[in-house]
Structure 1
Amino acid sequence: MQTDIYLLRHGATPANLEDRFAGRTEEPLHAKGLAQIKEVAATLAGQRITTIFAGPLARTRQSAAILGSLTGAPVQVEEAFNEIAIPHWDGLTKDEIRARFGPEYPFWLAQPAAFRGPGCETLAAVQERAVAGLERIMASHAGQRLVVVSHLIVLRCLALHYLGRSLMDFRKICLANGELTLISRTAATTTITLPPRPWSAPRR
């Protein structure tokens, strides 16, 4: 019996196009993002998706709702797949973060796994809750095909865990808006298939 989970980065938002840190703001999809998710639905047509899980923010719920309407799969909101909490950056452009918070953003770029801040989550904490959530739904939906709609940071953390790689490799994984990663589990193995691209990513 094989369980397949497609990890999907939500469609593009205005923040993605404006180089803003959306964080946990209720950012809707841009028209480009709507088109991306419709393309994903076409890709998944015929895959018999049984359930779609989405993080609680507007952009993941909206992406999941579009997929659900086009595939017929029900949508469940799952807090484990929420965006990282760095509340004092929410809604700011990368230049505004640099101007207001000095060395914080350069440190985040250079050493994301070591980043700490008052009221902020660490990558390790994000990875722990996301992996726990994914393991829970794989156990409760064994033998099914599922979709999890989440965010770049969360999906990088999940990918690194299932690849057996360190969070120090966080910036080496490139996942564009609307791209799919596949995790497949049998009784003997768990495999992960990333999008077909080199291990490199824009620094963000």
Structure 2
Amino acid sequence: MVGQRQGKTQWMHSGGLKGQDLERHQRVRGEKPVSPEQFGRQFGVVHGNQGSLPGTLQTADSRGLTCRRSLPRKRLGFWRQRRRRRSTGRQRPGRQAGTMILYLLRHAATQANRDGLVLGSSDPPALPDALAALATACRPLAGRGIRRIFASPLRRATASAAVLAREVGAPWEILPGLAELSAGIFEGRPRHDVCPPDRPLRRDWTDRPAGGESLADAEARVEQALTAIRPSLDRGPAAVVGHAVVNRVLLQLLYGWPRRELLAFTQPHGVVAEIAATGVVWLDPAPPGPGGRP
């Protein structure tokens, strides 16, 4: 399920594909997907610091391990549907069906992040050393054909988007719908005073901190942002610079992943995830771990 290719952590998933779909899956990634039977049929256990992917979701247990569960094909949502439509239609030069790629980033860290404070819609700047580390992480993206970058309006995200734009030579724009969710009365408080370290701030998709937002509340504005992002994805790779929680909402709207399990999806600051129809590749040398929670 997890293999190494060119120094990157590669997740492969057959997702029950057969015939032409399976052949296309192998051709796009250049590798043969691992049979689910090799990982205990529907369930398997992998190291807890790996990422999740379309068709596979993970939750960490007390031992730091992660359970992987395959999803029905009908739950894969936007990406699988686009892949089927493009496989039978006229292709643009140089494009293959199912090769639309989104590079998803979480902004560089702020002092509040390092101090363990809850940070939602508050707007502190990113730290200079964190931005320098982000520039190093983004450098390999220079030759990947990123055409446009979309960013949250908060300063930590816009500064991160400017770094990415400088490294890849692509224009960037602000989408208000990508702003981080407000944590209400918990803004700026130490995280350990608000909730245990082993669970998200919000217990479920509709859990709304007093004076703040739930993930369900943010769906409408994130969907509005996606109306600008989707056309760019159809023309070539694009990048989004967002935040821990709003990125989960974005992934749910694109893929249709179960909301309950998306609450466990983590992405550390300044880590780049390459997301395509066949899986997720973490481009940072250190895969995400529990420290990625907001």
Common fold: TM-score over 0.5: yes
Report the CA distance between 1:44 and its aligned residue: 0.5
Q: How far apart, in 2, do the equivalents of 1:201 and 1:168 lie?
A: 17
Query: What's the secondary structure of 1:80's corresponding residue?
Result: helix
Contact 2:101 2:233 (8 Å CA) reproduced: no
Q: Is the 8 A contact 1:29 1:59 kept in 2?
A: yes
Give ranges in structure 2 of 5+ residues lacking alignment: 1-94
| Secondary structure, counterpart of 1:177 in structure 2 | coil
TM-score, length basis structure 1: 0.79
Please list every run of at least 4 consecutive aligned residues from structure 1 whose deviation after the TM superposition is greater than 6 angstroms.
Answer: 196-200
Q: CA RMSD in A?
A: 2.8
Offset at residue 112 of structure 1 (A)? 3.2
Q: Which residue of 2 aligns with 1:28?
A: 125
1:81 aligns with 2:173: no
The alignment covers a number of residue pairs equal to 192
- Work out whether 1:125 is the aligned partner of 2:213: no
2:30 corresponds in structure 1 to none
Higher relative contact order (CA 8 A, sep 6+): 1
Once the two structures are TM-superposed, the CA of residue 120 in structure 1 deviates from its matched residue by 2.0
Q: Which amino acid aligns with 1:171?
A: L
- C-alpha change, 1:32 and 1:160, in structure 2 (3 Å) is farther
Residue 111 of structure 1 deviates from its aligned partner by: 1.6
Question: How many angstroms does 1:6 deviate by?
Answer: 0.8
**Deviation digits for residues 141-173 of structure 1 (CA, Å, limit 9, x no counterpart):** 522221110001111222344443222113321
Deviates more, 1:192-201 or 1:3-12: 192-201
SS at match of 1:91: coil
Are the aligned partners of 2:184 and 2:213 in contact in 1 as well (CA < 8 Å)? no
Are the aligned partners of 1:163 and 1:192 in contact in 2 as well (CA < 8 Å)? Answer: no
Q: Residue by residue, what CA displacement relative to the aligned partner does 1:117-152 show, whole Å, maximum 9, x if unpaired?
A: 443211122244324422432125522221110001
Encode CA deviations 1:75-102: one digit per residue, 9 max, x unaligned. Answer: 2000111000223222222245x3xxxx
The residue aligned with 1:156 is 248
2:280 aligned residue: 193
Residues 88 and 8 of structure 1: is their aligned pair in 2 closer, same or farther, counting only changes over 3 Å?
same
Q: 2:133 is matched by which residue type in structure 1?
A: Q
Please say which structure displays the higher CA radius of gyration.
2
The 10-residue stretch of structure 1 (80-89 or 31-40) with the greater mean CA deviation from structure 2: 31-40
Give distance in 1, aligned partners of 2:259 and 2:203. Answer: 10
1:47-78 deviation line (CA, Å, top 9, x unaligned): 12221111000000000011112222112000
The 5-angstrom pairing of residues 1-204 of structure 1 reads 1=95, 2-95=99-192, 98=194, 105=195, 109=201, 111-140=203-232, 142-184=234-276, 190-193=277-280, 195=282, 201=290
Specify the code of the residue in structure 2 equivalent to 1:81: L
In the alignment, structure 1 segments of 5+ residues that lack a partner are 99-104, 185-189
Deviates more, 1:52-61 or 1:138-147: 138-147
Q: Aligned residue for 1:101?
A: none
Take 2:224 and 2:237, find their aligned partners in 1: how far apart are those partners? 18
Tell me, yes or no, if the aligned pair for 1:55 and 1:80 is still in contact at 8 Å: yes
Instruction: Flag the structure with higher helix content.
Output: 1
